[in-house]
Amino acid sequence: MNSENLKTFITLCKYKNFTRTAEALYVAQSTITNRIAELEREVNAQLFIRDKKSVQLTESGIKFLDYAKRIVDLEEKAISDISSDTRFEKSLTIGSTNTIFDCHINEKVKSFLQRKNDTAVKIVISHSLPLIDMVIDGSIDIAFTFSEYHKNNIMCKTFCEDKMVLVTDCKNTKYKYGILLSELSDIDYYYCNFPFQNIGEYIKDLFPKYHHFPIEFDRAGNIIDYLIGSNGYSILPEKLVSKHIENEALHIVPLLDFEIPDVKSFMIYYSKNEDKLTEIIK
């Protein structure tokens, strides 16, 4: 399967426009058309629905996109491993969700690089299920996810459990001694739709149906800057906000008559790679 065709397909998925895709890849628009046509013949399926105004993925195209990304990533990893800079004897590719990376992996990687300057590290940020697929096909060495996966030769171990806490700016003391479930709808709650273990939906269900949140995020780490200096509140992993609590920028609001489940995360990797990963997972 031609990698240029795959990269063209991925780029067209991003821009949904043949002209912009051609400009991004520095080729003629006819080249884009020919590459997509060749790819569609190869997979024996229509990947796009085209009209004068837009380009949209078909169901087949949606399914194929994840495979295309993984094939391209795997090819790039193979080339990188074979022709890597001679000053790096080893390479390590780590996959993680945003939240786990921000809470736990970032500091581990920094520490690892200080101890192991002979290893080139690549970080891949994605969602849990695509990361598991990347472990399976070998494009990453280890995945830190919120989903379990158990199969022969693949290890799945509990990585950590994160407590979820309600936090706000330290100067906002209205609910300093605790908040009731019935009072949640009265606060400015900054909502994050955590895409793991139904936590996002669990939190949303604490509020009245069709409740309007002043702001919504898809990444927990982005909320912190909005909380500091405001009267907003948000439920976040305690590890993510621990430094801000220690620095007295944020404080935890006790939950008086309700609770949020802890969140468990996992590390997934081939058993044959365990020795290679010892330094990063210890």
List of domains in the chain: 3-79 (1.10.10.10), 84-161+264-281 (3.40.190.10), 164-261 (3.40.190.10)
* CA 136 – CA 151 distance, rounded (Å): 10
Digit-coded pLDDT (tens) for 110-159: 888 888 777 888 899 888 888 998 898 888 999 999 999 988 889 999 99
Tell me the two tokens of residue 7.
């990269």
pLDDT at 198: 83
pLDDT at 92: 86
pLDDT at 212: 92
Q: Residue 165: beta bridge partners?
A: 236
Ranges of residues in the chain with a pLDDT under 70 are 52, 79-89, 282
pLDDT at 205: 92
Helix axes of 18-25 and 3-15: crossing angle, nearest 10 degrees? 130
Q: Where does residue 62 fall: left (phi above 0), alpha (psi -120 to 50 degrees), or beta otherwise?
A: alpha
Asked if 249 and 135 touch (Cβ cutoff 8 Å), the reply is no
Asked if 224 and 146 touch (Cβ cutoff 8 Å), the reply is no
Which of 53, 39, 34, 44 has the alpha carbon at shortest distance from 1? 39
* CA 242 – CA 244 distance, rounded (Å): 5
The conformation of residue 87, written as its DSSP 8-state character, comes to T
For the question of whether the overall pTM of this predicted structure is more than 0.85, the answer is no
Asked if 253 and 175 touch (Cβ cutoff 8 Å), the reply is yes
Q: Which residue bears the tokens 């830190």?
A: 144
pLDDT at 235: 95
pLDDT at 122: 87
pLDDT at 88: 60
pLDDT at 282: 66
